[in-house]
Structure 1
């Protein structure tokens, strides 16, 4: 069994927008701790980075497109680029996970109700044992629903697709 920590779309632009991601500073702190624990345990961290296309906040090559510097990948850590909510769709993610013999994914990141949700469901459907980090994802308010309501709803919904745990409850193989 091989475990990987998958960090989805925690990009600089998510924190520099006029309305930054909900509770962004807390999210970064949680992810810093989680990433540090994974690395200490010898668990690989794989980053997913969204590309929005020309003129988009997350346009390839712009500073906002880069992984947030507080959780930036180390030299040699894999960054998978995508342009759809599904981190597996037309990317190298599945191929890379298979090459590493990965069976277990710990999933966190941004945006709760889009890319994190879609990738978690797809990972489950592909047969991975998935752990969803209950306090390791965030999003934005919408016209009808607050960010916190979305977070709570999706955390509950993920119980159907993953083992849902708070960051401090997650045990990395080798810990």
Structure 2
């Protein structure tokens, strides 16, 4: 089954600016290792970038991908304006054009854009692998970033009603390629 890696919102204004999200540096290292393996296996990689008129204006310094991310010229970039990486974007058409039926999701923010993209991908019939150690969030008054990640790993992988598998797997253990 052809797989693509989706890196969600790992941008300077969200991941590099202080305070940084939980394990931001380690998460970016895991994403880099995952995308290097994906490219070597022939799996396409897409970087999804959120934008808004308030603090993530298109092409602004804060909108750019995080400094430590390793991006290849062959990688795809997708712009979005909602937590859903599919809504009003070319993501689904790109996946279909690549023959993808399985997506690996990683990035920022576990409880918003990562969660929404995982659910939407499953609703569209894609098998989803959540890179369990390669998504993150900022600490909130009600929960730490570590707890938010653990919670989403448990709850998303427990959803069966979409009719496709959603699993949460450590990034180094994710099988890539066809």
Q: Distance in 1 between matches of 2:175 and 2:16?
A: 32
Task: Give the ranges of 4+ consecutive aligned residues of structure 1 lying more than 6 Å apart after TM superposition.
Answer: none
Map 1:22-61; keep pairs closer than 5 Å.
22-53=22-53, 55-56=54-55, 58-61=56-59
Q: How far apart, in 1, do the equivalents of 2:112 and 2:42 lie? A: 29
1:171 pairs with one of 154, 158, 175: 175
Equivalence for 1:73: 71
Pick one of 95, 98, 103 that aligns with 1:105: 103
Residue equivalent to 1:146: 144
Give the TM-score of the pair, scaled to structure 2: 0.92
By how many angstroms is 1:61 displaced?
1.4
Superposition TM-score, scaled by structure 1 size: 0.93
Structure 2: 5+ residue runs without aligned partners? 160-165
Matched position secondary structure for 1:107: strand
> RMSD across aligned C-alpha pairs, in angstroms?
1.3
Shift of 1:72: 4.0
60-69 or 28-37: bigger deviation: 60-69
Aligned match of 1:126: 124
On the 8 A contact 2:16/2:66 being kept in 1, the answer is no
Measure the CA separation in 2 of the matches of 1:78 and 1:173. Answer: 17
Structure 1 equivalent of residue 6 of structure 2: 6
Corresponding residue SS for 2:141: coil
Unaligned runs of 5+ in 1: none
| Secondary structure, counterpart of 2:139 in structure 1 | coil
SS in 2 for 1:81: strand
The number of aligned residues is: 172
Partner of 2:158: 160
- For 1:118, what is the secondary structure of its paired residue? helix
SS in 2 for 1:7: strand
Partner residue, 2:162: none
Please, which moves more after superposition, 71-80 or 103-112?
71-80
Instruction: Report the equivalent of 1:84.
Output: 82
